[in-house]
Chain A
């Protein structure tokens, strides 16, 4: 899976936001607000990666139970799907 092309991640106040860089993108008006962990997951998905590879990278990075990371990552992926930002 991979994020759709034409979006960028940028810092805004204490968070990160992702928004379209192409006015003709499928969901050009979508603005996704992310925390630091969300921004890390976003960067993982900027290049093609499998679900299990992404979970592996997250468990390397964060000192948290794998089940909790899986639940959070699943929720993050669902948000991306709702905004039409994910190619699977």
Chain B
């Protein structure tokens, strides 16, 4: 069974879908240490089958969910729905529900900053608190644009995107940001998992600056 490493978490997994296996190829590692076992069982995939017909999507979503749950329950991290970019060693998140403008902002950032900006992940980067540092990692779940790479950087700021009458950016408190953070963080179903996610958001509040970015 091949071994993989995402956000410095090792796991073993055997794919049913070749397409998914190729998407995880950048995360394959040669270590013999197997790490956690993320083999999917019937109950992992059952929920996804209710609303997804594609087998590839089903397996991808189920694996994402299982990894995300373990990440939050055991490894002090969350999968955070946002576009993550880095400039040098510092990472910036652009968080918004689908359709509000994450992809547009990535395009604008690339146009403005060129090669200085790198996309860590266009849809679901992984955040982890490692040795008191808040790190942003790439993940294979890169959204419909499949934008991102297997790199990491230190979290500096979170921009919450919203539609507005005019272009505007203002700093907000972590309390004002909280409802958005709760909405964008992948929450496990279990009570312990949710507590782990909230403990993580508490650390995130201390580590990052938050901004509300309104765009026409």
- Seen from chain A, the residues whose Cβ lies within 8 Å of a Cβ on chain B are 8, 10-13, 15, 17, 19, 21, 23, 31, 33
By the criterion CB–CB under 8 Å, are B202 and A12 in contact? yes
CA distance A17 to B205 in the complex (A): 13
- Contacting residues, chain B, for A23 (C-beta < 8 A): 189
By the criterion CB–CB under 8 Å, are B174 and A21 in contact? no
By the criterion CB–CB under 8 Å, are B191 and A8 in contact? yes
Closest to B183 in A: A29
By the criterion CB–CB under 8 Å, are B179 and A10 in contact? no
Closest to B198 in A: A10
- Contacting residues, chain B, for A8 (C-beta < 8 A): 191, 194-195, 198
Closest to B193 in A: A21
B46 at the interface (CB under 8 A from A): no
CA distance A15 to B202 in the complex (A): 10
Residue of A11, A13, A31 near B174 (CB, 8 A) is A13
- Contacting residues, chain A, for B175 (C-beta < 8 A): 12-13, 15, 33
Q: How far is the CB of B192 from chain A (nearest CB, A)?
A: 10
Interface digits, B164-205 against A, CB 8 Å rule (1 contact, 0 not)?
Answer: 000000000011001100100000010100110011011001
Q: How far is the CB of A28 from chain B (nearest CB, A)?
A: 11
Q: How far is the CB of A79 from chain B (nearest CB, A)?
A: 15
B30 at the interface (CB under 8 A from A): no
By the criterion CB–CB under 8 Å, are B202 and A13 in contact? yes
CA distance A15 to B206 in the complex (A): 13
CA distance A86 to B156 in the complex (A): 39
Q: How far is the CB of A17 from chain B (nearest CB, A)?
A: 7
Supposing A8-B191, A8-B194 touch, asked if A17 and B199 sit within 8 A by C-beta, the answer is no
21 inter-chain pairs at a CB distance below 8 angstroms, sorted by A residue, are A8-B191, A8-B194, A8-B195, A8-B198, A10-B195, A10-B199, A11-B202, A12-B174, A12-B198, A12-B202, A13-B202, A13-B206, A17-B178, A17-B198, A19-B182, A21-B191, A21-B194, A23-B189, A31-B178, A31-B179, A31-B182
